[in-house]
Amino acid sequence: MNPMKYCVAETHEKYDFVLEISAPFSAAAQAENGLAFYKRLQQEKSVVQKELEYIATNLIIEINTALPQIISIADPYANPVTLSETHIREFSLPYLFQLLSGLKTTSGGVIHLCPYSSFSLEKYGFVHVELVPFPDKPYMSVLSEYAQMKQLVFIGHQCIHTPTVNKIFLLHISNGVL
């Protein structure tokens, strides 16, 4: 079974310059039967955590070599409906954070995070958020503008499917959290 296969899901249904990626936790859940994986959180905590670290490490290498313009990251299996906050803090956020901190680029690009994940990252101090307001614009064109900048930008707190926005939430990675 190759969890990496599940990380790079597909290009966005409407915009082919957006690559949709599963965060390490959801990639692992999809590689295994989702429920069997959930059960292992209770029974094989340290084994699962090693697997997640492995996925994050390899995902960093793959993204750093390919680096598309906009990467949209979601972690749908790590959601507050199925998991407790403790599960999310132990199994999802640290590996998502490991992934984000490992991404390096010299050519800009945007990493877009699903709001479920970005709010949790903020809540537990993995990122801090800067709000930038502006008049109404299509969200995708705002993301494309940010993707042209020289440095890699992290954006979250709004669903990537939102048609029009009047603000953007920049995420700044906190140092020394892990």
Partner 1 sequence: MTELTQQQFFEQLSQAVVDQDETLAEKIATIIVRNGLDCAKAIETGLGGGMAKVGQLYETGEYFIPDLLVCADTVQNAAAILRTGLLQNPLSKGRVVLGTIFGDTHDIGKNIVALFLNSAGYEVLDLGKDVSAHLFVDEAVKWNADIIAVSTLMTTTMKNIKEVIDLLVAENKRNRFRVMVGGKPISHDFATKIKADGYANNAVQAVKLLDDTISKLRRNER
Mapped onto helix, strand or coil, the DSSP state of residue 29 is: helix
Q: Which does 123 bind (CB under 5 to 8 A by kind): partner 1, ligand B12, none?
A: none
Least separation, in Å, of the C-beta of 136 and ligand B12?
23
State the residue number with the nearest CB to ligand B12. Answer: 76
| Cβ proximity to ligand B12, 68 vs 76, nearer residue | 76
Segment 61-90, which members bind ligand B12 (CB under 6 A)? 76-77, 79, 81-82
Q: Which of residues 8-67 bind partner 1 (CB under 8 A)?
A: 34-35, 38-39, 41-43
Q: Is 83 in the site for partner 1 (CB under 8 A)?
A: yes
Running DSSP on this structure, what letter comes out for residue 44? -
For residue 49, give every residue at least 6 positions away whose Cβ sits within 8 Å of its Cβ, in sequence order, or none.
90, 91
Work out what residue 57 binds among partner 1, ligand B12, none; the CB cut-off runs from 5 to 8 Å by kind.
Answer: none
Residue 5 interacts, among ligand B12, partner 1, none and using kind-specific CB cut-offs from 5 to 8 Å, with none
Q: Where are the alpha helices (DSSP H) in the chain?
A: 4-7, 24-31, 34-43, 45-66, 85-87, 93-102, 115-123, 139-147
Q: How far apart are CA 85 and CA 83, in angstroms?
A: 7
Output the CA angle 168-96-46, nearest 5 degrees.
Answer: 160
Inter-residue contact 17 to 68 (CB < 8 Å): yes
CA angle 61/22/140 to nearest 5° reads: 100
Interface stretch with partner 1, choices 10-18, 80-88, 101-109, 165-173 (CB under 8 A): 80-88
Q: Which of 83, 77, 82, 80 is nearest to 26 (CA)?
A: 77
Work out how close the CB of 128 gets to ligand B12 at its nearest, in angstroms, rounded to a whole number. 26
Minimum CB distance to ligand B12 smaller for 25 or for 77 = 77
Closest to 99 measured CA to CA, from 173, 159, 46, 42: 173
Distance in Å, CB of 138 to partner 1, minimum: 24
Instruction: Write out the residues near partner 1 by the rule CB under 8 A.
Output: 34-35, 38-39, 41-43, 82-84, 87
Q: Which residues of the shown chain bind ligand B12 in the complex (CB under 6 A)? A: 34, 76-77, 79, 81-82
